[in-house]
Amino acid sequence: MAKRRRKLSPEMEKEISMIQKQIELITAKIFDIEDEELQGEYIQGFEPAKTAFLLLFDGYKNTGYNEETQSALAAYKTHIALFESEFEI
């Protein structure tokens, strides 16, 4: 049986690329924090956004553009907005 081709979206690929750069930048800024306790709080606060991005990235890579990846993108946006509102980076 032939495997179904995954549907791609140039817009989502661009957004995933931008998010990936944002994740790398925020992670670098968190690891630049010298106070270990404060750094731990930032890492813990950032984890939901990072996890949502990984689900988005893996989902898009494996299945392409669909409802699941759209909701993963929405979840990421929600988590990153919450992180940015609670933590000053």
DSSP string for residues in 5-74? PPB--HHHHHHHHHHHHHHHHHHHHHHT---HHHHHHHHHHHHHHHHHHHHHHHHHHHHBSSHHHHHHHH
Q: Is residue 9 part of a domain?
A: no
Position 89 scores a pLDDT of: 79
- Tally of CA atoms within 13 A in the half-sphere of 26 that contains its CB: 22
pLDDT at 25: 97
| Chain-centre distance for alpha carbon 25 | 12
2 in any annotated domain: no
73 is a domain residue: yes
Residue 4 lies in a domain: no
Domain tally for the chain? Answer: 1
* pTM, to two decimals: 0.87
Residue 5: pLDDT over 70: no
Does residue 76 sit within a domain? yes
pLDDT tens sequence across 37-81: 999 999 999 999 999 999 999 999 999 999 999 999 999 999 999
Which residue range(s) make up the domain with 40? 20-86
